[in-house]
Amino acid sequence: MTKLTAEELDFDNLDFSYKDLPYRYQAEYHNGAWEPGKLITDSNITLSEAAVVLHYGQEVFEGLKAYRRKDGGINLFRPDRNAKRMRESAERLLMAGYPVPDFIEAAKAVVKANQDFVPPYESGGSLYLRPMLIATTPMVGVKPGKDFIFRIYATPVGAYYPGGMKPTAFVTSEFDRAAHGGTGQAKVGGNYAASLLPGEEAHRAGFSDVVYLDPRQHQYIEELGSANFFGITKDGQFKTPKSPSILPSITKFSLIDLAKEMGMNPVETPISIDELDEFAEAGAMGTAAVISPVGSITHQAKKHVFYSETEVGPKTKALYDRLIGIQYGDQTGPTGWVVDV
């Protein structure tokens, strides 16, 4: 793949796709220890055909973004939380966790090295960082690997769901994404493999993404294929599902804090698919999704419309403005949320 130059990019019309930028960061783990990592230029990884990651899916990943400020500087949003969650995911898959301070330094190094690719302030874009951890030991039996590669690559992105802040349509599925007691709380590739078929079916039927229901009863909302879910009740309360099989979203925890600040009395609680009438507004929240309004959810062939299928609701907009205000450095947020690169 030939590397892009920043001049070749249309920063005002970015989609959510991979672009092969000049630099990525890599560190390797052998004989029980992490070797010093460094910036490299090769976007390929050479592996044994028997590498555990290729057969038994021993892989975890993260997603965080770098934002261009008005003063030209660059912010990372809560990289410590991604670093910690990656260690928790690694623990679930018996992998060596990458140290939190080294993760943050690596993220900064990748952003600095590719800084020409951080979209301009007000373009609406950001530089998405994809930290990943894979087991490289050749093994044929089902056992955890002992050798790992930690890598962070970067790619400039725009909106994840089509239209960004325009409401889109979602649909429930008969499929499950993750089991209680499974790996839903960890950010592992296998969860996303399980979501490909239901996701594709939803896309083919014209929906943005799937609303997964709980794997036991198919009664309670879990999360979306690529984001957590929230609803805002008619009396203005922010509600988001509580479940043992969903990703502990950093955007969700941030929005819970911001909703508190904005008097929206946030709560994490089981949300029944039969209670959708309770919500005046609904949205998807995540690093890639940011806040994307959910215009409707179709469940068992019945469409439930929230605020509007074409306009974003006022509370969703207020939360979005506050969140991106902090991320792009226009507003002051809670201490430590924003890290200068």
Q: Which residues are at the interface with ligand COI (CB under 6 A)? A: 63, 226, 286-288
Would you count residue 286 as binding ligand PLP (CB under 6 A)? Answer: yes
Q: So which residues are the catalytic ones? A: 187
| 56/61 Cα distance (integer angstroms) | 15
Give the phi and the psi of residue 159 in degrees, each rounded to 5.
-65, 145
Using the rule CB under 6 A, which residue among 159, 186, 211, 247 binds ligand PLP?
Answer: 247
Q: How many CB atoms lie within 10 A of CB 26?
A: 18
Nearer to ligand PLP, 134 or 224 (CB): 224
Nearer to ligand COI, 75 or 287 (CB): 287
Query: Within 13 Å of residue 159, how many CA atoms lie on the same side as its CB?
Result: 15
Nearer to ligand COI, 89 or 287 (CB): 287
Using the rule CB under 6 A, which residue among 58, 89, 168, 228 binds ligand PLP?
Answer: 228
Nearest approach, Cβ of 227 to ligand COI (angstroms)? 7
Q: Work out the angle between the directed axes of helices 250-261 and 314-327 (0-180°, nearest 10).
A: 110
Nearer to ligand COI, 273 or 289 (CB): 289
Would you count residue 131 as binding ligand PLP (CB under 6 A)? Answer: no
Nearest approach, Cβ of 115 to ligand COI (angstroms)? 21
Task: Give the tokens for residue 308.
Answer: 């509007």
Nearest approach, Cβ of 176 to ligand PLP (angstroms)? 13
What residue 247 binds from ligand COI, ligand PLP, none (CB within 5 to 8 A, per partner kind)?
Answer: ligand PLP
- The DSSP 8-state label assigned to residue 37 in this structure reads P
Cβ proximity of 301 and 264 under 8 Å: no
Nearest approach, Cβ of 71 to ligand COI (angstroms)? 26
Would you count residue 223 as binding ligand PLP (CB under 6 A)? Answer: yes
Would you count residue 287 as binding ligand PLP (CB under 6 A)? Answer: yes
Q: Which range touches ligand PLP (CB under 6 A), out of 136-144, 160-168, 281-289, 294-302?
A: 281-289
Give the phi and the psi of residue 186 in degrees, each rounded to 5.
-105, 150
What residue 156 binds from ligand COI, ligand PLP, none (CB within 5 to 8 A, per partner kind)?
Answer: none
Closest alpha carbon to 229 in 304, 157, 302, 154: 304
Give the phi and the psi of residue 30 in degrees, each rounded to 5.
-140, 150
Nearest approach, Cβ of 196 to ligand PLP (angstroms)? 13
> For residue 61, what are the β-bridge partners?
132
Report CA Rg, the chain: 20
What residue 228 binds from ligand COI, ligand PLP, none (CB within 5 to 8 A, per partner kind)?
Answer: ligand PLP
Task: Give the tokens for residue 86.
Answer: 């990656």
Single-letter amino acid, residue 228: N
Cβ proximity of 154 and 110 under 8 Å: yes
Q: Site residues (CB under 6 A) for ligand PLP?
A: 63, 223, 226-228, 247, 249-252, 286-288
